[in-house]
Amino acid sequence: MKAVILAAGIGSRLSRPFPKSLSVLPYGETILGRQIRIMRELGVQEIIIVVGFKMTLIMEQFPEVYYRYNPNYYITNTSKSLHSALKYLDDDVLWMNGDVVFDKEILKQVLDARGENLICVDTKNCGEEEVKYTLNSDGFVNQISKQVKNAEGEAVGINFIRKQDLSAFVEALDKCVDEDYFEMGMEFLIEKNVLFKPVDISDHKCIEVDFEEDWVSAQKAFTTAG
């Protein structure tokens, strides 16, 4: 299994002079460092980070992982960053946004359930900026985007796809326009009856840091390396 972390963006909504994945939590670990450590502790060894904005700052801090560069990071969204990594892979893939701070137990849940394609979800009320989802009658995800109405909750940005569906996913991401999030590629797959099972992580802490208030919440919630 491979893991891909998407950390190419400018993070304009947070307005940092450095990649927001390098923001330091109260106990001294960066968001990205926490992600890498948790994956390594759970046996995920091959990690690829997609970089763009001020990439050398990330690469100097984490020389022990692999990298893909998205040269168009300033005009493309996560669909193209993810495509730039997945098109070279042929394996099961865990992927996540580089600004998600999460409990270790969440990744354990994903790894325990990885016989299926997975989307980590938090069953809560959501605002306009959050990626939301709905389920079909069989309990699989049938919509996933910021525009979803009557949502079941939030898709938190941690996902898994099996090797057998990877090439179809790469094709779906290739179909996406530059502005699309990778969730559009997932919707293209769902239209072809490739199923994604929700993994409910609501009992654990997980915060995607998009705005300053998210960062304040993350600092309050994650005060130790646990």
pLDDT band of 24, cuts 50, 70, 90: very high
Give the whole-angstrom CA distance, residue 9 versus residue 19. Answer: 7
Q: Which residue in this structure is represented by tokens 């993994």?
A: 199
- Decide: 4 and 85 in contact? Cβ < 8 Å: yes
Instruction: Extract the tokens encoding 100.
Output: 């998600």
Q: Which residue in this structure is represented by tokens 């050398």?
A: 56
Q: What's the whole-number mean pLDDT along residues 3-28?
A: 93
Instruction: Extract the tokens encoding 171.
Output: 């094709």
Q: What structural domains does the chain harbor?
A: 2-221 (3.90.550.10)
The model's pTM is: 0.96
Per-residue model confidence as pLDDT tens digits over 112-149: 999 999 999 999 888 888 999 999 999 999 999 999 99
